């Protein structure tokens, strides 16, 4: 695993991510630029008073791509990290769909909050919407972010899963999740790499996720079996 990320700021700015997804999954409806702009505008109109934060719980932790002026360990309540979004492009294919993280209802989640400067806010969020809101599988919402002692320090944009979208996969059996993560791969890399980078990113921040640690161990074991058996 290298430090280079296929999903770069330059690729997002150029529209390359959308083009790659459209080519890999031509039957997947992507949001138009106008729809993404409307979503961003509605989110900004609903902004609570105070600084603008972004809550990262998955790949944003180890590959944020946006510019921020501060980052802090943060927790959100009422939502938990889960591999609940099925993908047929990026880190999976139509024949072997992968899985990526979303925030699903219930529980809590500890991640990293990024504070975005006011003078670049709209530009940075526009870039973020090109990355996270390709197919409208997430619902962006403002959530209270809490420090390690439980004190609220602000409100953050958070991408929660849309359970009504066709890509929602929050009811998959554990063995199916492990198999998908162990075997799926696409133009942006493998689903396993995404899992391992997120696990390692959380470890590096001093906030390891026990459930993600267990899942990563199961995926590593599954991959070992596949290698011995000559599987994909």
**Would you tell me the crossing angle of helices 121-132 and 33-45 to the nearest 10 degrees?**
130
Contacts of 66 (CB under 8 A, 6+ apart): 9, 54, 114, 116, 124, 127, 128
User: What φ, ψ does residue 154 adopt, rounded to 5°?
Assistant: 165, -170
Contact in structure between 206 and 112 (CB atoms under 8 Å): no
Annotated active-site residue 132? The verdict is yes
DSSP E strands in 128-229: the ranges are 138-146, 152-161, 185-186, 189-190
Q: Between β-strands 52-56 and 152-161, what pairing exists: parallel, antiparallel or unpaired?
A: parallel
Distance CA 66, CA 113 (A): 12
3-state secondary structure of 145: strand
Distance CA 145, CA 69 (A): 17
Query: Which is the catalytic residue, given 70, 77, 132, 213?
Result: 132
**Which residues are known to be catalytic?**
132
């Amino acid at each position: 695993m290298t430090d280079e990320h296929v999903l770069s700021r330059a690729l997002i700015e150029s529209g390359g991510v959308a083009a790659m997804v459209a080519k890999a999954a031509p039957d997947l409806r992507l949001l138009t630029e106008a729809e993404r702009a409307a979503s961003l505008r509605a989110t900004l109109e609903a902004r609570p008073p105070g600084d603008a934060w972004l809550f990262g719980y998955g790949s944003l932790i180890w590959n944020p791509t946006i510019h921020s002026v501060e980052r802090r360990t943060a927790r959100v309540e009422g939502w938990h990290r889960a591999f609940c979004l099925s993908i047929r492009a990026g880190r999976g294919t139509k024949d072997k769909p992968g899985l990526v993280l979303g925030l699903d209802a219930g529980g809590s989640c500890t991640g990293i909050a990024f504070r975005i400067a006011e003078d670049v806010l709209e530009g940075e969020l526009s870039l973020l919407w090109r990355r996270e809101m390709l197919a409208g599988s997430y619902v962006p919402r403002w959530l209270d972010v809490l420090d390690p002692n439980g004190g609220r320090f602000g409100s953050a944009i958070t991408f929660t899963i849309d359970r009504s979208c066709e890509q929602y996969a929050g009811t998959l059996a554990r063995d199916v999740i492990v198999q998908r993560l162990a075997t799926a791969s696409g133009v942006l890399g493998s689903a396993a790499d995404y899992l391992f980078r997120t696990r390692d990113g959380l470890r590096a921040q001093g906030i390891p996720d026990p459930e993600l640690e267990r899942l990563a161990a199961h995926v590593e074991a599954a991959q070992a079996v596949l290698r011995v058996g000559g599987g994909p």
